Amino acid sequence: MNEREKFLFDLQGFLVVKNLLTQEEVDALNAAVDANFDKRGEDGNSHTGDSKTLVGTHKRGMFSGMLTWQKPWCQPFRDILAHPKSIPYLNTIHGRGWRLDHSPFILTSDLKSEGLILHGSSNHHFDGSQYYVYRNGQMRCGMVVFQYQLHDVNEGDGGLCVIPGSHKANLRCPKEIREWEVNREVVYNIPGKAGDLIIFNEATIHGTLPWTNRERERRSLLVRYSPKYLHFAGGYYKSEFPEWVDELTEAQRSVLEPPYIYNRPLIEDDGETVVRPRRE
Ligand SMILES: O=C(O)CCC(=O)C(=O)O
């Protein structure tokens, strides 16, 4: 993560990394989704509160469970867990040790899919699961979202939106702003191309705008990571690793570790997994 990217992530509470995935990786992920299209469900999490502007005619679509899709379709998703280009971002944002918070999922939207009311913690109270601090030259966050775009998104299409800088807001966000009814100019619908990565802090106020593009559906892969000591949402494991863990690399396995600190496997920027960090 270079100085420009650190500046932008600190300033905005989100960062766009262009072309993080190669065309081959995007194609492999999209082929896996296409081959499993019958598994698409509705996203029970999407809701619009009392908003008249976030409503649509139907809910967002959602895929989950991709890590256990039949081979070869699970592989491109397993490869994302500790993607070599994403590791340095996670090491900068979370410091030494981070983990997959819960199963990755894909959000889809087609014309008039409803939005999701803006949410996220801001500084008005301490929330140990979603926060941002910068101290002693280091940034640290609660859960963060790595959103890989699998289809292009233009500004105005809908989908992911954020209030830039809101991870540092001192006051509660008024309901009518969270419902996208007023001051819409502070809400940014982040555009991106297939293969771009958007990293955002769960503490940055964010949500989903209704989808307006009639030519193209939204297809975004969300992978959420927490620092090594935190578990935000329900997990991908029960009391122990799933049996398919043997099919993973050492780095991928270490991402599935439960929350703990002592003698934890850590992933170096170059992808090597170590128990004692080569640097602090
Ligand atoms: O990417 C988006 O549309 C926002 C996702 C989100 O915040 C959620 O599903 O909780």
pLDDT digits (tens, 9 = 90+) for 48-86: 999 999 999 999 999 999 999 999 999 999 999 999 999
- Mean pLDDT throughout 110-139? 92
What pLDDT, on a 0 to 100 scale, did the predictor assign at position 125? 82
What pLDDT, on a 0 to 100 scale, did the predictor assign at position 122? 75
| Residue closest by Cα to atom 8 of ligand 1 | 207
Closest residue by Cα to residue 191 from 217, 216, 161, 219: 161
CA 53 to centroid of chain Cα atoms: 24
Going from the Cα of 147 to the center of ligand 1, the distance in angstroms, rounded, reads: 9
Q: Yes or no: is domain 3-274 CATH 2.40.100.10?
A: no
- pLDDT grade for 276, boundaries at 50, 70 and 90: confident
Interstrand relation of 98-100 and 14-17 (parallel, antiparallel or unpaired): unpaired
- Mean pLDDT throughout 222-231? 95
Going from the Cα of 202 to the center of ligand 1, the distance in angstroms, rounded, reads: 9
Cα atoms in the Cβ-side hemisphere of radius 13 Å centred on 113: 27
103-139 per-residue burial string, b: 16 or more CB within 10 A, e: under 16: bbbbbbbbbebbbbbbebbbbeeeeebbbbeeeeeeb
* Total Cβ atoms within 10 A of residue 183: 11
What pLDDT, on a 0 to 100 scale, did the predictor assign at position 280? 54
Beta bridge partners of 210: none
Mutate to test the pocket of ligand 1, among 145, 150, 206 (most ligand atoms within 8 A of CB): 206
- pLDDT grade for 243, boundaries at 50, 70 and 90: confident
Mutate to test the pocket of ligand 1, among 116, 117, 217 (most ligand atoms within 8 A of CB): 116
Mutate to test the pocket of ligand 1, among 16, 48, 107 (most ligand atoms within 8 A of CB): 107
Going from the Cα of 209 to the center of ligand 1, the distance in angstroms, rounded, reads: 9
The residue to which tokens 């100019």 are assigned: 185
pLDDT at 240 over 80: no
Q: What is the CB < 6 Å shell around ligand 1? A: 45, 107, 116, 147, 159-160, 206-208, 220
Going from the Cα of 48 to the center of ligand 1, the distance in angstroms, rounded, reads: 12
pLDDT digits (tens, 9 = 90+) for 248-273: 999 999 999 999 999 999 999 999 99
What pLDDT, on a 0 to 100 scale, did the predictor assign at position 121? 79
pLDDT digits (tens, 9 = 90+) for 192-215: 999 999 999 999 999 999 999 999
pLDDT at 131 over 60: yes
SS3 letters across 120-181: CCCCCCCCCCCCEEEECCEEEECCEEEEEECCCECCCCCEEEECCCHHHCCCCCCHHHHCCC
- Mean pLDDT throughout 123-135? 90
CA 44 to centroid of chain Cα atoms: 18
pLDDT at 239 over 90: no
Q: Which residue has the higher pLDDT, 81 or 123?
A: 81
Q: Tell me if 209 sits within 8 A of 56, measured CB to CB.
A: no
The most confident of 30-34, 42-46, 244-248, by mean pLDDT:
30-34
Give pTM, 2 decimals. 0.96
What pLDDT, on a 0 to 100 scale, did the predictor assign at position 124? 79
- Mean pLDDT throughout 99-105? 93
| Residue closest by Cα to atom 2 of ligand 1 | 160
Domain ranges of the chain: 3-274
Q: Report the C-alpha gap between 261 and 274 in whole angstroms.
A: 13
Contacts of 92-96 with C-beta under 8 Å, sequence gap 24+, read 92/1, 92/6, 92/139, 93/1, 93/9, 93/139, 93/140, 93/141, 93/144, 93/199, 94/140, 94/141, 94/144, 94/225, 94/226, 94/227, 94/228, 95/138, 95/140, 95/227, 96/228, 96/266, 96/277, 96/280
